[in-house]
Amino acid sequence: MHLLLKLVMVVVVMVSSMAMMVCTCQARTDTRHPVILVPGSGGNQLEAKLSRDYYKTSSLACRFLTPAHRWFRLWFDLKVLVQPFTECFAERMTLHYDPVKDDYRNAQGVETRVPYFGSTEGLQYLNPNLILKDITAYMAPLVESLERHGYVEGQDLFGAPYDFRYGLAGEGRPSAVGTKYLQQLKGLIENASKTNGGKPVIILSHSLGGLFVLQLLNRNPVSWRQKFVKHFIALSAPWGGTVQEMLTFASGYSLGVPLVNPLLVRAEQRSSESNLWLLPSPKLFGHKLPLVITPNRTYTASNMPQFLDDIGFSEGVFPYKNRILPLTESLVSPGLPVTCVVGTGIKTAETLFYANNKDGFDKQPEIVYGDGDGTVNLLSLLRLESEWPKEKSLKVIRVPNVSHTDVLKDPIALSKIMDEITMINLNVLSSVL
C-alpha cells in the first residue's frame, strides 16, 4: 500500500514537472519578440521589365537579349559576369538624377520591382534557381539559425528587402523610392507587432540596412518607437561610410570577380544614390586623414566634392552636397537599445595610391590597408561608440577575424547574434515570471 502511494506520488510529481516544462516552453514562445531582417546593399533579389518603346540602349545586343514586357531577374544573374551581358546589366541598373525634380529614377524604359517584401525568401539566396544556389547564399544561414531557435517564417520572422540602389535625402528634399520603403518597413513593423500580441519587434539589419533603420527610427515619434520596437541589432553597419567606396567611384569595383572589368560597371556604380551615402563621412574621417593620393593631389573626406569632380563625376557633386551630407553629419540616438555586431582584424582599404598620371583613375590603385571587416573601416564600424559616449543602451560586440558578409554565416558570429536575441527575449520572460 505504501509502495503504491509512493508510485502515485512519483507519477504526480513527474506529471507536474512535465506540465511546468510545457508551460515554461509556452511562456518562452509567447514572449518571443518578432524579428524583421533588413538586408544590406545587394542583399536581396531585384526584378526588371523592359519596354521596347522606351528602352534606350547603345547596344543592339542589349535591346534583344531580354524579351520585352515580362519580368526577369536583374539581381543576381550569373550572366552579368560575361560580356555583353555585363554592359546590359550595367545599363539596366543605372539610376539617373533629375535636377528638376531633385530625385533619382530608373533608366528610361526600365521598370524594377522588389519581390517577396515581408518574407525572407528574397534575401536568403540572391538566385535560388541555380543548381549551386549556395554560392549566392546571403542571409540563409542567419534565417536557419533563427528557425532553429523557434522562429517561424511569416509568423514571427519577416524580411524587408528594398531597391538598394536608392537611398534617402536630407530633410526637405524628395526621395520617392527611399521614403516609400520606410513607409513599407514601418507598416511591416506595426503588423508584425499586432499579429504577435502587441509585442515590439527586434529589427536585425546588415550593412546599409542599418542606415535605413536608424533613419526610420529617428523620423518617427519617440512614442511610436517605444511601442513598436524592442531592440535594434545592426550587423556590419557602415555608420561613417567606407574608403572602399572611393575606389568604387574612382575606378569601379568588381567585387574581386576576375571576369568582370571594373570599368564596365563604374558608371552604373557611380549612379547609385546609396553608394553616395556610403562615401566616407567628413564628420568622421575629417580633413587630415589622406584617403586618396595622386601625383597632383591628396583627397580627404572633407574635399569629397573636388574628388567627385576630378574623377569625372561632376554630376554627383550637387546631390552629394545637398542630399547626402545632411544624412552623414550627425547620427542621433533613437533612444532605444542598440547592439552593433562588428567584424575586426580583416585588412580593409585605408588609403588609395594612384601613382601614374597617364592612367589617371582608369587603373586600379595600390592600396594601404588598415583594420576593419574587409569592407568597412573600423573607425566607421565603431562610430556610434565615439558619437554616443554616454548612451547606456548602446552595446558593441566585436567578432575577431570575421569579414563584412561572413558575420551572416560564421558560427561564432551567429552564436553571438542568437545569444543577444535570446537575452532580449529572456528579459521579457523574467519580467513576466
Catalytic positions are 207, 373, 404
- What is residue 125's DSSP assignment? B
Query: What is residue 36's three-state secondary structure?
Result: strand
What sign has the CA pseudo-torsion 323, 324, 329, 332? positive
What is the distance between the alpha carbons of residues 299 and 352, in angstroms, rounded to a whole number?
Answer: 10
The number of residues making up the chain comes to 433
Question: Distance between CA 373 and CA 153 in Å, rounded?
Answer: 30
> Please, is 266 exposed, middle or buried when counting C-beta atoms within 10 Å of its C-beta (0-12, 13-18, 19+)?
buried
State the Cα–Cα distance between residues 235 and 142, nearest whole angstrom. Answer: 11
The candidate with the shortest Cα–Cα distance to 225, out of 210, 235, 214, 234, is 214
Contact predicate 34/156, CB 8 Å: yes
The helix or strand, by DSSP H or E, that contains position 368, with its residue range, turns out to be strand 366-370
Cell of 187: 507598416
Q: Is the torsion defined by CA of 417, 220, 426, 16 positive or negative?
A: negative
Distance CA 425, CA 419 (A): 10
φ, ψ (nearest 5 deg) of residue 41: -65, 125
Which residue carries 592612367 as its cell?
359
Alpha carbon 110 to its chain centroid, in Å, reads 24
Q: Which residue has the cell 583627397?
A: 299
Q: State phi, psi for 383 to the nearest 5 degrees.
A: -55, -40
Q: Which residues contact 218 (CB under 8 A, 6 or more apart)?
A: 332, 334
| Pair 362, 263: CB distance under 8 Å | yes
Phi, psi of 359 (to 5 degrees): -80, -20
Pairing of strands 103-106, 35-38: unpaired
Any alpha helices (H) in 172-221, and if so which ranges?
A: 176-194, 208-218
Separation of alpha carbons 334 and 327, rounded Å: 15
HSE-CB at 376 with a 13 A cutoff on CA atoms is: 30
